[in-house]
Amino acid sequence: MFGYYILIGAIALVSWLVSSQLKRKFAHYSKVQLRNGMSGREIAEKMLSDNGIYDVEVISTPGKLTDHYNPKNKTVNLSESVYHERNAAAAAVAAHECGHAVQHAQAYSWLQMRSTLVPMVSVTSGMSQWLVFGGLILGAAAGLGFGFWIAVVGLVFMAFATIFSLVTLPVEYDASNRALAWLKAKNVVTPEEYKGSADALKWAARTYLVAAIGALASLLYWALQVFGGRD
């Protein structure tokens, strides 16, 4: 268990460092005002229109960094600051979320795979570690048998969450690539503003990368605990 705490501590530290850097980047690029004067909402609506998407609504959602695309009701949800403000950070986020809408419209396979996993992961992720830990305790107390198989079920549940994190990576990176390509092709931002948008999205993507590495490392650790003790 001590090794697990070291692993979790290291991942948490890296996650905190990346998250802190992301917040600093967005704070910095939020001060870079767009020369075209467009708000995040206007940029999102233009990107959707340019991609022939007219059945997706751009709405404002409370909170900070709460931006997301909802494929169920086809809405691009922009946090209040992104929705209203007219800066490089807002442009990056708005275009990125519309990148997901474009993926949806074009039936992007990785997005479809992630959407398929959502219901399963929402049910299994909360109980996976408890099943593994409980199974290991039962196995230690009463031999392998029933406790071992409980732990295996927990590992399977944990694997679903890990797969979800890994599948999320191409979805997020592709959405950013679509956003940046559109911002440049349509001259929505100046070259200097483009650099800010690209840098902001780069750090946002790294949060997903750290999460995926953490999920994979945790899965491998518990798999070693479950199977490593067997003769």
**Residues taking part in catalysis:** 97
Three-state secondary structure call for residue 38: coil
Question: What are the phi and psi torsion angles at 32 (to 5°)?
Answer: -90, 95
Strand order through the sheet with 57-61: 57-61, 75-79, 68-70
Say if residues 154 and 221 touch (Cβ distance below 8 Å).
no
Residue 186: how many other CB atoms lie within 10 Å: 13
Q: What is the full DSSP assignment across 206-228?
A: HHHHHHHHHHHHHHHHHHHHHHH
**Interatomic CA distance for residues 82 and 60, integer angstroms:** 8
